[in-house]
Structure 1
């Protein structure tokens, strides 16, 4: 039996060297330790100070149950324009929710401004084995959402419900199909109208 694969999209903000690392090594699941490692590389690159890095780690949503489950690696099966309110904060702030979320309601403008200045917004297309992901709701809810997405791509349904996926295991570099970067025409036009033009699976 062939492995079931879904196309999925990850919205994020990354530096060029992080994109190179992703394309060469695949997906590492998000964790406090991985965030600390990423912050260390940005401190070495001069993108932020060690003091700010320490503040981010000390308050990360990844270690605070108040923010729900933020670890793993989150994607959506529905392509979304990067300016959409569902994803715009992800492409505006480096490090994702694990880095910026705890500071959104406070007065730490310096941290948010610094995160907005690191890297560029990215939309990464993946091919994801079903067995590697937890998919939104379970059972009938997931099946219904998957059919909604498929119907939307056929032009039958205009506004499908979102279908979020959270990886439960890392993905190899071969799972990365394409990286769309802020400043490119494809990025600005991504998911505007149907049908979509996506990368060809490997």
Structure 2
């Protein structure tokens, strides 16, 4: 059973133990951020290039992040967002079977299903399969399920291609023939999947710690840099990890990052 998921960008979702840690070290974290911003603005205002001043709070902040916040975040689950294009049947499978990581066999299975459904002919499916970047990049792409830590507008350049093309990067990324591209654009509908992902199955504990620190510092009046990050799960997740599926046509899909989810503020 997954523990309750927190939003790294929303202080209201942080549990009391996490908040207690942040309160304990909040002054040092705020001092670092204010000093860092002041040093940057002073550098930018200088006539000609000058080196960025050292931040005397840097060592304290690094200790807090690595020795305090990372161990705390490794025990936690966060809500993340997966932008994709799926058929109704694939959405149903997510809800029943949960989330599987990507591999070449999975791409072949998905293409075979579209042939059986009449969405692709076998020759087209075979040609698309041969163009998959997984053939050349299996070691770096396999065994992962990619997400983002913050919701994005559906028109954002970072996610729009994922929403426009069925199959994810493993299918569309290296396609060059217009017919093949148009074929995968006709399958399914754009979807956004909310995922409860334990940070213990990711390599992004540091980034998550940095994000919750940024959120807390902002609540103290600081102005930290943006803390959104990409992350991936390295193992399958059960059906309880699928918190919601937003499909094109749903009000929440259109409102993503513009009022949904409640409490989201882009920094």
TM-score range, shorter chain: 0.7 to 0.9
Deviation track 1:130-166 (CA, whole Å, cap 9, x = no partner) reads 111222xx74x55324544677899976972431111
CA distance in 1, matches of 2:169, 2:78: 24
Q: Which residue of 2 aligns with 1:115?
A: 184
Give the whole-Å Cα distance in 1 for the aligned partners of 2:133 and 2:220: 37
- Find 2:201's aligned residue among 132, 135, 145: 132
Select which of 78, 101, 112 maps to 1:40.
Answer: 112
2:238 is matched with: 172
- Aligned partners of 2:79 and 2:196 also within 8 Å: yes
Correspondences of 1:1-202 after superposition (within 5 Å) = 3-65=75-137, 69-71=140-142, 72-103=144-175, 106=176, 108-135=177-204, 139=206, 143-148=209-214, 160-193=226-259, 196-197=261-262
TM-score norm. by structure 1 comes to: 0.83
Q: How big is each residue's C-alpha offset from its partner over 1:6-42, in whole Å with a ceiling of 9 and x where there is no partner?
A: 1100000000000000100001111000010011111
Q: SS at the partner of 2:141?
A: coil
The alignment's TM-score, normalised by the length of structure 2, stands at 0.64
Deviations 1:72-99 (A, max 9, x none): 1100111101110000000110000000
Structure with the larger helix share: 2
Structure 1: which 5+ residue stretches go unaligned? none
> Which residue pairs with 2:15 in the alignment?
none
Deviations for 1:162-194, whole angstroms, at most 9, x for unmatched residues?
Answer: 31111111000010000000111210110125x
Q: CA RMSD in A?
A: 2.7
Instruction: Report the number of matched residues.
Output: 189
Report SS of the residue matched to 1:18: helix
**What CA deviation, in whole Å up to 9, does each residue of 1:50-79 have, x standing for no partner?**
1111112212112223x9833311001111
- In structure 1, how many angstroms separate the alpha carbons of the residues matched to 2:215 and 2:163? 22
- For 2:181 and 2:218, the matched residues in 1 are separated by 35
Question: How has the CA–CA distance of structure 1 residues 146 and 112 changed in structure 2, closer, same or farther, with 3 Å as cutoff?
Answer: farther
Name the larger-Rg structure. Answer: 2
Q: Where does the alignment leave 5 or more consecutive residues of structure 2 unmatched? A: 4-74
